[in-house]
Structure 1
Amino acid sequence: MINRELIRIKIVQLTYAYYQNGNKNMDVAEKELFFSLSKAYDLYNYLLELIVAITKEERLRMEIATQRAQREGTEVPSQKFAYNKFAVQLEENKMLNDFVENQKQTWSDDIETVRKLCNQIEQSETYQAYMASDDDSYEADREVWRKLYKQLIQENGDLDGLLEEKSLYWNDDKEVVDTFVLKTIKRFEPEAKSAQELLPEYKDEEDKEFARKLFRSTILNAEQYQKYMSDASRNWDFSRLAYMDVVIMQIALAEMMTFPNIPVSVTINEYVDLAKLYSTSRSGNYINGMLDSIARYLIREGILLKIMPVRENRRQNNGTSRIEKR
């Protein structure tokens, strides 16, 4: 589940913290990185458990309404959503239940949040259309939860706030983790029953090693990377750079230099996006130009053994340098 996008996010956060907190111990910092990544996997399981918690609350509501209907001689409510086939399968899932047992982390302490979500679900057009439909297939049950998650859980400011209060590590994780929850819902199959596999913490050992190598290279080679920035960009005004911009470019250079199979363009695009997220409104464009210039300088000097497309002569937007056709 922990992919390279999430790894890059965590390394930006932890590298910045490494320089800010004054405790510059590489081994301690690396342990903190992997703990932070493990918390993202906890969030993945916790959000899946939220579906189970909502289902249990809906089942309780249905049982109370059924007893009332029986006393009053009125129509008994439908059990369709309370015993949604996908949700029941998730409730019985061995991997999820192992997580709950090991982490002791449930939604019982936040039942009001669960109840509020139940109310929102019951009022939604998606829920009402599902309840009115004659389609009682597993596919329909799975699809309604995919839609409800996207509509009411993925974009939910109150829920985001609650999760941030529960763990500082979850501040920026939910947007990425939501995509993996939705992927998990889509890949559930009824034949797997309780043995349905959830996403593993890491797809393979290579991604875990990517995190370790990138973080260590960023910190241990910091002086060299900052020298490359200075040598390649003498005509750029470094006073315009926010401190976070320097950190992001340092990590980008570590990735360019450490991983020969990752194209320069991929690295630049990834860190430009992170600059837009973590730094100033102008940082994305500025870092894009800076990293492009630095990479071309390193390639020209034979330091970086990668290929970049030829570009035409043009003026930098600060008007102080001309970058020649490579």
Structure 2
Amino acid sequence: MLSRRLLRIKAVKALYAHFKSDSDSLISSEKNLMFSIDKTYELYHQLLWLIVDVATVAENKIELGRKKHLPTEQERNPNTKFIDNRVIAALRNSERLTDYLTSHKLGWVRYPELVKHLYKAMTASDYYREYMASPSRSFKEDQKLIEDFYTYTVDNCEELENVVEEQSIFWADDVDFANIMVLRTLANMKVSQDEVPLLPEYKNEDDKAFVKELFRHTLVHYKEYFDYIGRFTKNWDVERIAFMDNLIMAATMSELINFPSIPVKVTLDEFIEIAKYYSTPGSSTFINGILDKVVEALREEGKIAKSGRGLLDK
């Protein structure tokens, strides 16, 4: 399922797009937000299929070797451990996965060079050599190889990042989040399962409601939050404060005030972390300092009211 951090990032990006486009339609901007989230869920399925296409490259290579007029001993009797990998077989035979890919027109058919590149990178790795050299053929070993592929080969592939962004502008910066979902899926797989345990898009309905409400509250009350934050930035050159900084602080205020079940520390930590990647150098330090003052003032005014076990005064 998509993490709360990703949902916060999506909300901030949608807010940024709304204001920069001078849109006056909350409904239209919210639809774009939800579409962007759906696209990340598509990317999860797209990435999950990637190892299947890499295995197809290996299968074709073995078949070509066998068909040679004078094949070598290795070509006549190739090591088929990788192409016989049971995790790959489970993914290939998953009706839920293949149906989803088909219905959403997803796949890597148009990017054979990328798939070949990943195959070469994988076969050149130590984790692959160790796997192929081991005489055992346990499901756990099969599982670990695929996890290593996504952890070390996919996660460090710049070509993949470029291809993904070419496929959809909504996938920019989403590979890491989708890859984490892939790894969770792989970790949940068991040899006795008939189907791949695909993750749901949201953990629960609360998460879906959370991202919508965060977006709406921040958008509707942005001017109010902006003016409130302005009380604590009087000694700063307003023109030099990045728009994204103000946007992140407004979204933080919205969450602090409107979501009583989320601890203050969680909200602050999440948005400060987002600022490190989506605003200017030094923004996270600046935002941290301003938000400390904002939280103190909101508490004094009784505008932060946390409820639930373990949340009082946090």
Q: Which residue of 1 aligns with 2:256?
A: 256
What does residue range 210-249 of structure 1 map to in structure 2 within 5 Å?
A: 210-235=210-235, 237-249=237-249
> CA offset at residue 235 of structure 1?
4.8
| Post-superposition CA distance 1:180-201 (Å, at most 9, x none) | 11111111111113x2220011
| Post-superposition CA distance 1:58-85 (Å, at most 9, x none) | 11112222333x8546241011101211
Q: Which residue of 2 aligns with 1:286?
A: 286
Matched residue of 1:201: which SS? coil
Q: Which residue of 2 aligns with 1:105?
A: 106
Aligned residues: 307
Per the normalisation by structure 2, the TM-score is 0.93
Asked if structure 2 preserves the Cα contact closer than 8 Å seen for 1:81 and 1:131, the reply is yes
> CA offset at residue 305 of structure 1?
2.2
Q: Hey, what's the Cα distance between the residues in 1 that align with 2:293 and 2:287?
A: 10
What does residue range 269-308 of structure 1 map to in structure 2 within 5 Å?
A: 269-306=269-306
> CA offset at residue 16 of structure 1?
0.6
Per the normalisation by structure 1, the TM-score is 0.90
Q: Hey, what's the Cα distance between the residues in 2 that align with 1:72 and 1:188?
A: 37
> CA offset at residue 230 of structure 1?
2.5
Amino acid in structure 2 at the alignment position of 1:168 = I
| Post-superposition CA distance 1:211-251 (Å, at most 9, x none) | 11110001011122123213455455544411110000011
Q: Hey, what's the Cα distance between the residues in 2 that align with 1:101 and 1:176?
A: 22
Q: Which residue of 2 aligns with 1:323?
A: none
| Post-superposition CA distance 1:125-176 (Å, at most 9, x none) | 1111111101101110110111121111012111111111111111111111
| Post-superposition CA distance 1:246-301 (Å, at most 9, x none) | 00001111111110011111111111111111111110011001111011101101
The 3 A distance-change label for structure 1 pair 73 and 257 is closer
Q: Which residue of 2 aligns with 1:62?
A: 62
* Dislocated runs of 4+, deviation >6 Å: none
Q: Which residue of 2 aligns with 1:124?
A: 125
Q: Which residue of 2 aligns with 1:42?
A: 42
Amino acid in structure 1 at the alignment position of 2:258 = T
Q: Which residue of 2 aligns with 1:81?
A: 82
Amino acid in structure 1 at the alignment position of 2:213 = K
Asked if structure 1 preserves the Cα contact closer than 8 Å seen for 2:39 and 2:171, the reply is yes
Q: Hey, what's the Cα distance between the residues in 1 that align with 2:72 and 2:239?
A: 77
Amino acid in structure 2 at the alignment position of 1:123 = A
Q: Which residue of 2 aligns with 1:187?
A: 188
Q: Hey, what's the Cα distance between the residues in 2 that align with 1:38 and 1:222?
A: 25
Gaps of 5+ in 2: 307-311
Asked if structure 2 preserves the Cα contact closer than 8 Å seen for 1:202 and 1:208, the reply is yes
Asked if structure 2 preserves the Cα contact closer than 8 Å seen for 1:59 and 1:83, the reply is no
> CA offset at residue 3 of structure 1?
1.9
Note the aligned Cα RMSD (angstroms): 1.6
Asked if structure 1 preserves the Cα contact closer than 8 Å seen for 2:118 and 2:153, the reply is yes
Q: Hey, what's the Cα distance between the residues in 2 that align with 1:285 and 1:232?
A: 14
Matched residue of 2:152: which SS? helix
Amino acid in structure 1 at the alignment position of 2:94 = N
Q: Hey, what's the Cα distance between the residues in 2 that align with 1:273 and 1:267?
A: 10
Asked if structure 1 preserves the Cα contact closer than 8 Å seen for 2:188 and 2:197, the reply is no
Q: Which residue of 2 aligns with 1:13?
A: 13
What does residue range 307-318 of structure 1 map to in structure 2 within 5 Å?
A: none
Gaps of 5+ in 1: 310-326
- Matched residues, percent identical? 34
The 3 A distance-change label for structure 1 pair 237 and 135 is same
The 3 A distance-change label for structure 1 pair 83 and 223 is same
Q: Which residue of 2 aligns with 1:318?
A: none
Matched residue of 2:111: which SS? helix
Q: Hey, what's the Cα distance between the residues in 1 that align with 2:187 and 2:221?
A: 42
Amino acid in structure 1 at the alignment position of 2:101 = V
Q: Which residue of 1 aligns with 2:309?
A: none
